[in-house]
Structure 1
């Protein structure tokens, strides 16, 4: 089935995504695992510090206090952020251009309306 250019543009705005994480998209290949490693390492260090305090003879009170010290602090977690759809990104950039004075509000409103028409599926 052949798609019209309007359908292609609407699908592109809806399905194409852009990296908005704030760093080079190629460096994410190494930085995401590195960030996960840092969080896990911090959690291991915190647990190790609590356990080092309980070194010596087996004492239930010391063991319980060490366990509570580990469980009291929230573990560090690394979270990834999803990419934004192209339509949302273009809309945000047009609004930012108006706020910064790079574009006139009337022109930007026309562009936004045209873009929103492309993003909306055909009802007819």
Structure 2
């Protein structure tokens, strides 16, 4: 039978919660989690479309090589979410009233 781990005190649970939970500080609404999935889909869709558009006219092997080189050297679109901050940091900043500088993240 496996050993039971000791249960945590409420103070330990609170400290763990403050470290683990995150808050969105970018200024978006709480529904922005839907937007994250949407942005990722749009970027991936645009990259697939660009590849398909480049490859479509390549009929002979010589032209296909040129298109392949263009496709490999083409810089793909990217999108990155501004990372969340821990709940402890969020509450500390809110208590002091300091503003977020998102360029440093």
Same fold at TM > 0.5: yes
Q: Which has the larger radius of gyration?
A: 1
Aligned to 2:31: 26
CA, structure 1 residues 2+33, in 2 after alignment: closer, same or farther (shift >3 Å)? Answer: closer
Per-residue Cα deviation, 1:43-101 (whole angstroms, up to 9, x for no partner): 122112322342x4x2x22111101111112222333444311122233342616xxxx
Give the aligned CA root-mean-square deviation in angstroms. Answer: 2.7
**Which 5+ residue runs of structure 2 have no aligned equivalent?**
1-6, 100-105
TM-score by length of 2: 0.63
CA, structure 1 residues 74+92, in 2 after alignment: closer, same or farther (shift >3 Å)? Answer: farther
TM-score by length of 1: 0.56
**Which 5+ residue runs of structure 1 have no aligned equivalent?**
98-124
Aligned residues: 92
Give the ranges of 4+ consecutive aligned residues of structure 1 lying more than 6 Å apart after TM superposition.
none
Aligned to 2:16: 11
